[in-house]
């Protein structure tokens, strides 16, 4: 459509420079490529999209939908009263062009899995369009709906809400013909008055649906039945409902049908049953459904960022393959700047409904717009389309052929995207740097959730520094710093210069403060554009002596922590020194609250703030300008809003630990391993060094590949700690070894290779801290660098 056509759709005011064909809509300038078909929609949220219009123009964007007058020339502007509402209107009109059945999925859990599995099954019969990943929000849903094309025969879209009133908007633009309600849980309870209200709000998605599928033996089924009436299609393991379901070892029985599956976990079986019943309602035959079920594997449905060989990073997205998902993966790539060279390993794209020439020409255009440097194609169809690609490229007929003649990889970001048939996870395994069975998973969505919780406490003008010292609290310095830069935090804080230099060498360009610069390292500050915390006269004098152009400095004031900083008695001497160096820029003046999390020490914290205010004013009077003023750490951000000043410093809170105990945060990390071996021991046997593990009854003992060299302390041995195996907490047995730990799995149905959770949701890091009489900081930062980090995005 032409950009001018959006005027009628949105009832906006049009200012036209050159009417362009538009088809791409984005609310995030970080995903813009400058293609003439792009439209940037400036949405006012916590951060106002209008503030980034100049950034969008610098990227080449020429089409804008705004709700505030902007003074820019040579671009197309559509002025509307509400840009989010306008986006919904555009998506609504786009959806109306297509008379295909749309399946809407909502619920508290399982929406994305049911959507993906149902898409896999329906793709055996239809050309399917679906929302990528968990694009189920007020922005994600219209973004997904804009991807419906003429070749599509069925659409599957999920809808998520976090407060009342939201589903009304999503219902209008999706307007599903068939609905799937997965379940009702406690996620996002804060946005609703009660569970009943949340249920009613979610079911509003199906107000115009012809049929709605749900499980019939839940405690809330009667309420669903009352609201949905005759349109309800229930399945039930107890034999009632339209579909009588039985879960058996290796198959699911649905009425007279049997569908083979390797899944055994109840939640997996429930999700798969939703998908099977929906496929039956869509008219698929049993053999078509079974073919689709056979393609479903218990693989992570998420992007995974991993360290690879030869300085590479791997963006692993091997569980499915479609053009929309490829766009999302390449957009995600924008937030990771560790390597400038970008390589895509891509299999044949199946079930697109497009002629191969058109399909791969679109892919070629996408790769060009996302600055991909090299394509490695896998499969006969993409190989036959070699001529449409205009970048460095090499093709293989199969994954086996690729593995037999693997190209060189060095210092690059490698995106691996493939259909399940091609088993590209074998390529990922080949390119991974470490194969340690123990893995620390860091979830970017949890980091973002926690970051937003703290940002919501701040005024729009308050800056945010995030501490990434100690390898970003054990989570991974480069990866977390790249994430934070993409989230537009104002500054990073590190402990030492070498950490900052590593960041600069890997694409981090935002300001970095060094908390404890080595006195001999000041000559590096100008070269790498670093800023120094100065806490003593010796450091100040040495810096002025060793640098031709002194860096920006941050003056640390000791108001009672008594760790580092200028004491109140030294401020007059400090100001005299500063007056001697008028070219020296004091970027900030700050202090550190020693006990901002402790109510019992609130009087002391107030005295610290009072002293800091006095010292700050003295220094400002001497300087003649006002540097940034900051004092609050994670706990202070929550408990002391009156002392947010100009900037705050977020540390452990980012990773899911609120020292104040007042915020509801998400654990960002999960440490897990696998069972290496199982031993069947008799009463009287002993386990481990010094025979500390005494077996009192016949027992089943599992050995897991994690020990004190990995950060799992010796203190956790001899039953002082537990790990989770198949949802059962199992105690340690005997002493923890350097590389191994023994656990008692006598009461668990378990096999070698099964997953073991060291910490995550159960047990939590706080549990391990309690068992070892320490704090969560130490547990997280103790995880050894030899443990493989995997960064996931759901």
Output 41-46 pairs: Cβ under 8 A, ≥24 positions apart.
41/65, 41/83, 41/84, 41/86, 41/87, 42/66, 42/67, 42/68, 42/83, 43/83, 43/84, 43/87, 43/139, 44/83, 46/452, 46/455, 46/456, 46/460
Arithmetic mean of pLDDT, 303-314: 89
pLDDT digits (tens, 9 = 90+) for 321-340: 778 888 888 887 776 767 77
Residue 662 falls inside a structural domain? no
Among candidate residues 365, 430, 534, 433, the one with its CA nearest the CA of residue 786: 433
Domain edge (last residue) among 245, 267, 294: 294
Q: Are residues 121 and 50 in the same domain?
A: no
Q: Are residues 150 and 116 in the same domain?
A: yes
Residue 93 falls inside a structural domain? no
Among candidate residues 217, 253, 268, 232, the one with its CA nearest the CA of residue 114: 268
Number of domains in the chain: 5
Arithmetic mean of pLDDT, 280-291: 95
Domain edge (last residue) among 43, 59, 87: 87
Q: Are residues 278 and 234 in the same domain?
A: yes
Q: Which residues pair with 702 in a beta bridge?
A: 678, 743
CATH of residue 691: 2.40.37.10
Which pLDDT score, from 0 to 100, does residue 304 have? 86
pTM of the model: 0.83
What is the spatial distance between Cα 628 and Cα 590, in angstroms, rounded to a whole number?
Answer: 8
Arithmetic mean of pLDDT, 560-570: 93
Q: Is 684 exposed, middle or buried (0-12, 13-18, 19+ CB in 10 A)?
A: exposed
Residue 565 falls inside a structural domain? yes
pLDDT digits (tens, 9 = 90+) for 106-115: 998 889 999 9
User: Is residue 455 within 8 Å of residue 648, measured between CB atoms?
Assistant: no
Percentage above 70 pLDDT, the chain: 98
- What tokens does 191 get? 């946005």
Stated length of the chain: 794
563 marked as part of a ligand binding site: yes
Domain edge (last residue) among 433, 459, 484: 433
pLDDT digits (tens, 9 = 90+) for 675-695: 999 999 999 999 999 999 999
Q: Are residues 555 and 606 in the same domain?
A: yes
Which pLDDT score, from 0 to 100, does residue 301 have? 61
pLDDT digits (tens, 9 = 90+) for 210-239: 999 999 999 999 999 999 999 999 999 876
Q: Which residues pair with 606 in a beta bridge?
A: none
Which pLDDT score, from 0 to 100, does residue 81 have? 96
770 has a pLDDT exceeding 90: yes
> Which residues, at least 6 apart from 136, have a Cβ–Cβ distance to it below 8 Å?
106, 111, 112, 157, 158, 159, 160
Residue 756 falls inside a structural domain? yes
691 marked as part of a ligand binding site: no
Give the chain's end-to-end CA distance (angstroms, integer). Answer: 32
- What is the residue-averaged pLDDT of the chain? 92
Which pLDDT score, from 0 to 100, does residue 300 have? 61
Residue 661 falls inside a structural domain? no
What is the spatial distance between Cα 305 and Cα 442, in angstroms, rounded to a whole number?
Answer: 10
Q: Are residues 289 and 321 in the same domain?
A: no
Q: Are residues 418 and 465 in the same domain?
A: no
What is the spatial distance between Cα 773 and Cα 760, in angstroms, rounded to a whole number?
Answer: 18
Q: Are residues 252 and 336 in the same domain?
A: no
Among candidate residues 648, 610, 646, 609, the one with its CA nearest the CA of residue 627: 646
Residue 58 falls inside a structural domain? yes
Q: Are residues 691 and 590 in the same domain?
A: no
CATH of residue 357: 3.90.190.20
CATH of residue 501: 3.20.20.10
Q: Which domain holds residue 367?
A: 303-433
CATH of residue 283: 3.40.1190.10
Number of Cβ atoms within 10 Å of the Cβ of 309: 15
Q: Are residues 492 and 626 in the same domain?
A: yes
Q: Which residues pair with 532 in a beta bridge?
A: 514, 553
- What tokens does 567 get? 């004491």
User: Is residue 695 within 8 Å of residue 685, measured between CB atoms?
Assistant: yes
655 has a pLDDT exceeding 90: yes
What is the band of 133 on the pLDDT scale with cuts at 50, 70, 90? confident
Number of Cβ atoms within 10 Å of the Cβ of 768: 26
Active site residues: 469, 689
571 has a pLDDT exceeding 90: yes
Q: Are residues 610 and 471 in the same domain?
A: yes
Residue 663 falls inside a structural domain? no
Which pLDDT score, from 0 to 100, does residue 326 have? 87
Number of Cβ atoms within 10 Å of the Cβ of 766: 15
What is the spatial distance between Cα 685 and Cα 701, in angstroms, rounded to a whole number?
Answer: 11
Q: Are residues 421 and 479 in the same domain?
A: no
- What tokens does 709 get? 């060299």
Q: Are residues 248 and 330 in the same domain?
A: no
Which pLDDT score, from 0 to 100, does residue 351 have? 78
Could you tell me how far CA 341 lies from the centroid of its own chain? 23
Residue 563 falls inside a structural domain? yes
User: Is residue 347 within 8 Å of residue 428, measured between CB atoms?
Assistant: no
Q: Is 284 helix (H, G, I), strand (E, B) or coil?
A: coil
């Amino acid at each position: 459509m032409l950009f001018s056509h959006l005027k009628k759709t949105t009832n906006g005011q049009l200012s036209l420079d050159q009417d362009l064909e538009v088809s791409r809509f984005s609310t995030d300038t970080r995903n813009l490529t400058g293609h003439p078909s792009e439209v940037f929609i400036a949405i006012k949220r916590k951060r106002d999209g209008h503030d980034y219009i100049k950034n969008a123009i610098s990227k080449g964007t020429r089409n804008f939908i705004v709700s505030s007058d902007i003074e820019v020339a040579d671009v197309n502007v559509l002025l509307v009263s509400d840009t989010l509402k306008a986006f919904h209107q555009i998506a609504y009109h786009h959806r109306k062009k297509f008379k295909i059945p749309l399946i809407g999925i909502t619920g508290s859990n399982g929406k994305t899995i049911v959507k993906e599995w149902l898409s896999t099954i329906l793709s055996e019969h239809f050309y399917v369009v679906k929302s990528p990943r968990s694009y189920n929000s007020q922005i994600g849903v219209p973004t997904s709906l804009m991807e419906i094309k003429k070749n599509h025969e069925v659409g599957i879209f999920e809808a998520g809400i976090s407060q009342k009133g939201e589903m009304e908007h999503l219902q209008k633009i999706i307007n599903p013909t068939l609905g799937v309600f997965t379940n009702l849980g406690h996620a996002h309870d804060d946005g609703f008055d009660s569970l009943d209200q949340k249920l009613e709000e979610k079911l509003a998605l199906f107000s115009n649906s012809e049929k709605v599928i749900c499980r019939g033996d839940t405690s809330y089924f009667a309420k669903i039945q009352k609201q949905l009436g005759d349109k309800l299609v229930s399945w039930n393991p107890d034999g009632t409902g339209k579909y009588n379901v039985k879960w058996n070892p290796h198959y699911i029985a649905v009425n007279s049908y049997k569908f083979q599956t390797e899944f055994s976990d109840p939640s997996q079986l429930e999700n798969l049953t939703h998908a099977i019943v929906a496929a039956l309602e869509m008219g698929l035959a049993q053999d078509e459904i079974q073919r689709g079920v056979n393609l479903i594997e218990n693989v992570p449905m998420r992007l995974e960022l991993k360290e690879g060989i030869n300085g590479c990073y791997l963006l692993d997205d091997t569980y499915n393959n479609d053009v929309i998902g490829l766009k999302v993966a390449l957009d995600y790539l924008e937030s990771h700047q560790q390597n400038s060279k970008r390589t895509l390993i891509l299999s044949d794209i199946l079930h697109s409904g497009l002629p191969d020439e058109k399909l791969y020409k679109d892919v070629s255009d996408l790769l060009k717009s996302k600055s991909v440097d090299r394509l490695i194609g896998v499969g006969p169809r993409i190989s036959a389309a070699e001529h449409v690609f205009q970048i460095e490229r090499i093709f293989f007929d199969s994954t086996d052929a690729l593995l037999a003649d693997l190209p060189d990889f060095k210092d690059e970001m490698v995106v691996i995207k493939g259909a399940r048939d091609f088993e590209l996870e074998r390529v990922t395994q080949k390119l991974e740097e470490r194969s340690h069975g123990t893995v620390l998973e860091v979830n970017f969505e949890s980091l973002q959730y926690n970051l937003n919780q703290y940002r919501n406490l701040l005024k729009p003008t308050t800056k945010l520094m995030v501490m990434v010292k100690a390898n970003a609290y054990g989570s991974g310095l480069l990866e977390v710093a790249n994430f934070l830069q993409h989230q537009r935090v104002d500054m990073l804080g590190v402990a030492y210069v070498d950490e900052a230099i590593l960041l600069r060498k890997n694409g981090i360009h935002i300001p970095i403060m060094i908390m404890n610069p080595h006195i001999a390292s000041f000559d590096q500050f100008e070269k790498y554009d670093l800023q120094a915390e100065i806490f003593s006269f010796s450091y100040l004098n040495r810096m002025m002596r060793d640098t031709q152009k002194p860096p920006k400095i941050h003056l640390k004031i000791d108001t009672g922590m008594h760790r580092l900083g200028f004491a109140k008695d030294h401020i007059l001497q400090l100001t005299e020194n500063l007056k001697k160096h008028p070219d020296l820029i004091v970027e900030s003046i700050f202090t550190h609250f020693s006990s901002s999390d402790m109510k019992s020490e609130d009087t002391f914290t107030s005295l610290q703030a009072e002293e800091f205010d006095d010292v700050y004013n003295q220094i400002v009077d001497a300087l003649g300008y006002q540097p940034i003023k900051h004092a609050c750490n994670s706990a202070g951000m929550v408990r002391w809003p009156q002392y947010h000043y100009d900037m705050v410093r977020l540390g452990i809170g980012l990773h899911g630990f609120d020292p104040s105990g007042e915020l509801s945060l998400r654990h960002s990390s999960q440490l897990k391993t696998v069972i290496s071996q199982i031993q069947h021991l008799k009463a009287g046997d002993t386990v481990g060094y010094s025979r500390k593990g005494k077996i009192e009854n016949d027992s089943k003992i599992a050995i897991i590949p994690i020990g004190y060299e990995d950060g799992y302390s010796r203190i956790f041995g001899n039953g002082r700690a537990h790990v989770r195996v198949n949802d059962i907490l199992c105690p340690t047995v005997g002493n923890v070894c350097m590389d191994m730990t023994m656990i008692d799995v006598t009461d668990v149905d378990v096999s070698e290779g099964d997953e073991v959770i060291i910490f995550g949701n159960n047990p939590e890091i706080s549990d391990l801290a309690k068992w070892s009489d320490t704090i969560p900081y130490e547990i997280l930062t103790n995880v050894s660098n030899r443990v493989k980090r995997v960064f996931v995005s759901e």
